[in-house]
Amino acid sequence: MEELNKSNRRDFIKKSGILLAGSAFMASPINQLLAANGTTKLTILHTNDWHSRIEPFDKTDKNNAGMGGAEFRAALIKKYRAENENILLLDAGDIFQGTPYFNFYGGELEYKLMSQMGYDCVTLGNHDFDNGIDGLFKQMPHATFDFVNCNYDFKDTLLENKVLPYKIYKKGGLKIGVTGVGIELKGLVPEKLYGKIKYNDPVENLNKVAAYLKLEKKCDLIICLSHLGYNYKEGKIGDLSLAPQTKHVDLIIGGHTHTFLKEPTLVKNAVGKEVIVNQVGWAGLALGKIDFTFNNQQINGFIHTSNNVDIVDTHI
Amino acid sequence: MKNTFFIALLLVFGFNACAPKLTLTNTQTQNIKINKDSLQMRDELAFKTIAPYKARLDSSMNEILCYNNQDLKKDLPEGTLGNFVCDELMFYAELSRRRSSVIIPKSDFCIYNNGGLRVGSIAKGNITVGKIFELAPFDNELVVVALDGKYCKQLFDLMAQNNGAPCSKELRFDIENNKAVNITINDQPFDENAGYNILTNDYVASGGDKTEPMKYAKSVTSLNLMVREALIKQLRNRNKSAQPINIQLDGRIKQIK
């Protein structure tokens, strides 16, 4: 495993070698001293496509017996909170639908538990509309976290001003801009459930919001919660085709396709910078954790390390 | 002069130190399994929050609807589970139609998508509400689709191509070279020039599972009733009237060589 980490690290340094070498020349002793003092760490924890899996999978389940479960996820999150000061806890949508908990309680328990775990922000998936706009609106008082999406037009619906185009979080002196993109609802969700919500182009709207967050709001990190899906054969927009069309997004946290990534995918954006794309399957079976280290060294590009000591089963 | 330079230097670095421009230099990632056995810990607050919801849910889910005297299995071209679902839906839809204050057409037969049966089997023994939730987790409604005979034929051929699909006992046909032949409805020969009312779920009615011919529907009438709800109510009725489930394979759809 140590070997694997080293080789990943080496590969990535190789990729951005020129940029790093350039910055090494510039680094004076004074800068290094400032760097040591000015280091800030931020940990992003994330989930997607929980699908109301409140309890661990049943003993009789073929693939996931005993796995998942909100009380165990909450414990893991608590452990990381004890270790890290600056944490953002995020979800990429489809919190609702999949077990009788949703049929019976309409998502109330899901939102309550996520609020207790201290989720900061979520985006909306197609199944979050399964009880209609009303059904979603009704559960929002149980949520202490924010809802973001920048490519649905909620005008003249109950969700207008309830789902924000972006939200800025301040952690340890860092400004983190979080936005979200959603999948086309037509053909996926009955029209009577999503009502007057209009779907707009995710690329155009994400770029607009991300540029605003970076250039006007001076965010240090920009995160997109995406419910578009990881990757599609042709035509349809997914996270892997979205990332190269962006300029300011640092991290895309995906959902919808229930993709278990052993490690995040790194994709070059429109200006040649790496975007991290991650997704952790579904059903609360896994938690994604990404640690970002910031300091005042002026380098271009970053060193990326993957620690997959606990690789998730991929056969779902 | 020397002093001014020093102050200037101090200002430059001093300013930098107060408001440093932070740059992302390192990222480390790990995708972690949520596995209670390896975690060896649970969150008490979450556990306590879930408990009352779970207790209420379990008491509803464990409600015994009726006794099932055989293993019901999902199968093609015909399976006992598909026969069970479609026959029970036909029965309850008719009951519900008669009671309804709105005009709902009388269904001639029921069809269902095989993929819509979300369990592979229901074992002999008591059927609980929870089992029906597993069988039909989605909130699909029952609808009656009025369709011309020629489009019905296209639909039957589609079913034949897929080696059959769940249907109620009123519909019978043989599959020969991927086509539906010897079709009868309510023991009458199928008439391509007639119109038929098909009971199904709104997923199939809206063209789900490639049921293209459905787009030529003359009308689609909702029963305002979810599939799951209909099955639960129907099984409760059975229990009240002490009628056990008795489903046979009756060759409603079969391959002929």
Instruction: Out of A37, A112, A294, name the one closest to residue B23 (CB).
Output: A294
Distance from the Cα of A150 to chain B's closest Cα (Å) equals 25
Q: Which of A292, A220, A294 is nearest to A38 (CA)?
A: A294
pLDDT tens string B127-167? 999 999 989 988 899 999 999 999 999 999 999 999 999 99
Lookup result for tokens 């002793």: A29
Q: Is A312 a domain residue?
A: no
CB contacts, 8 Å: A276 with chain B:
27, 29
CB contacts, 8 Å: A250 with chain B:
24
Q: Is B54 a domain residue?
A: no
* Residue A191: predicted pLDDT: 85
* Residue A165: predicted pLDDT: 98
What are the two backbone dihedrals, phi and then psi, of residue A178, each rounded to the nearest 5 degrees? -120, 130
* Residue A188: predicted pLDDT: 83
Cα B155 to chain centroid distance, Å, stands at 20
Cα–Cα distances in Å, from A80 out to A60, A75, B36, B238?
Answer: 31, 9, 16, 53
* Residue B11: predicted pLDDT: 43
For chain A, give the longest Cα–Cα distance: 64
CB contacts, 8 Å: A103 with chain B:
133, 137, 139
Q: Which helix (H) or strand (E) holds B202?
A: helix B202-205
Do the beta carbons of residue A268 and residue A274 sit within 8 Å?
Answer: yes
* Order of all β-strands in the sheet with A303-306: A163-164, A146-148, A121-122, A87-91, A40-47, A286-295, B23-33, A303-306
Q: Tell me which chain A residue has its CA closest to the CA of residue B17.
A: A34
Q: What ipTM was reported for this prediction?
A: 0.86
CB contacts, 8 Å: B203 with chain A:
none
Distance CA A73, CA A79 (A): 10
Q: Do A276 and B27 touch (CB under 8 A)?
A: yes
SS3 B154: helix
CB contacts, 8 Å: B133 with chain A:
100, 103
Distance CA B45, CA A58 (A): 22
Q: Is A35 a domain residue?
A: no
Instruction: Out of A66, A101, A298, name the one closest to residue B36 (CB).
Output: A66
One-letter identity of residue A261: L
Exposed, middle or buried by CB within 10 Å (0-12, 13-18, 19+), for B148? middle
Q: Do B50 and A173 touch (CB under 8 A)?
A: no
Extract the tokens encoding A218: 């001076």
Mean pLDDT of successive 10-residue stretches along chain A, which has 316 residues = 38 35 37 57 97 89 86 96 96 94 96 98 96 97 98 98 98 96 90 94 98 97 98 92 98 96 94 96 95 83 74 39
CB contacts, 8 Å: A219 with chain B:
none
Q: Is B14 a domain residue?
A: no
Extract the tokens encoding B160: 């034949």
Instruction: Out of B16, B31, B41, name the one closest to residue A312 (CB).
Output: B31
Q: Is B75 a domain residue?
A: yes
**CA contacts within 13 A on the Cβ side of B227:** 29
Q: Do B43 and A55 touch (CB under 8 A)?
A: no
CB contacts, 8 Å: A292 with chain B:
24, 26-27
Do the beta carbons of residue A288 and residue A253 sit within 8 Å?
Answer: yes
What are the two backbone dihedrals, phi and then psi, of residue A25, each rounded to the nearest 5 degrees? -60, -40
Q: Do B46 and A286 touch (CB under 8 A)?
A: no
Distance from the Cα of A205 to chain B's closest Cα (Å) equals 25
Asked if residue A100 has a cis previous peptide bond (ω within 30° of 0), the answer is no
Q: Is B251 a domain residue?
A: no
Q: Do B49 and A112 touch (CB under 8 A)?
A: yes
pLDDT tens across the length of chain B (257 residues):
455 555 544 444 444 444 457 889 899 999 998 988 878 889 999 999 999 999 999 999 999 999 999 999 999 999 999 999 999 999 999 999 999 888 999 999 999 999 899 888 898 999 999 999 989 988 899 999 999 999 999 999 999 999 999 999 999 999 999 999 999 999 999 999 999 999 999 999 988 878 899 999 999 999 999 999 999 999 999 988 888 888 999 999 999 97
| Strands of B34-178, DSSP E | 64-68, 72-73, 109-110, 121-122, 125-128, 141-148, 171-176
* Residue B242: predicted pLDDT: 85
One-letter identity of residue A248: H
* Residue A305: predicted pLDDT: 84
Q: Do A101 and B57 touch (CB under 8 A)?
A: yes
Distance CA A199, CA A189 (A): 12
Q: Do A285 and B33 touch (CB under 8 A)?
A: yes
- Structural domains counted in chain B: 1
Probe site for chain A from B9, B18, B29, B134 (most A CB atoms < 10 A): B29
CATH number (domain holding residue B237): 3.90.780.10
Distance CA A69, CA A67 (A): 7
- Structural domains counted in chain A: 1
Alpha helix stretches (DSSP H) within chain A: 2-15, 17-26, 29-37, 70-83, 100-105, 108-117, 132-139, 191-194, 202-211, 239-242
Instruction: Out of B29, B32, B202, name the one closest to residue A306 (CB).
Output: B29
Lookup result for tokens 């440093």: B20
CATH number (domain holding residue A163): 3.60.21.10
| Strands of chain A, DSSP E | 40-47, 87-91, 121-122, 146-148, 152-153, 163-164, 166-171, 174-181, 198-199, 221-226, 251-253, 265-268, 274-278, 286-295, 303-306
Q: Do A262 and B31 touch (CB under 8 A)?
A: yes
Q: Is A299 a domain residue?
A: no
* Residue A31: predicted pLDDT: 39
By residue range, what is the domain housing residue B186? 61-244
* Residue B138: predicted pLDDT: 83
Q: pTM of this prediction?
A: 0.78
Q: Do A308 and B25 touch (CB under 8 A)?
A: no
Lookup result for tokens 């034929």: B153
Q: Which of A112, A34, A283 is nearest to B21 (CA)?
A: A34
Extract the tokens encoding A193: 């459930």
By residue range, what is the domain housing residue A203? 2-24+41-294
Q: Is B170 a domain residue?
A: yes
Q: Is A241 a domain residue?
A: yes
Beta-sheet pairing, B171-176 with B179-185: antiparallel
Q: Is B200 a domain residue?
A: yes
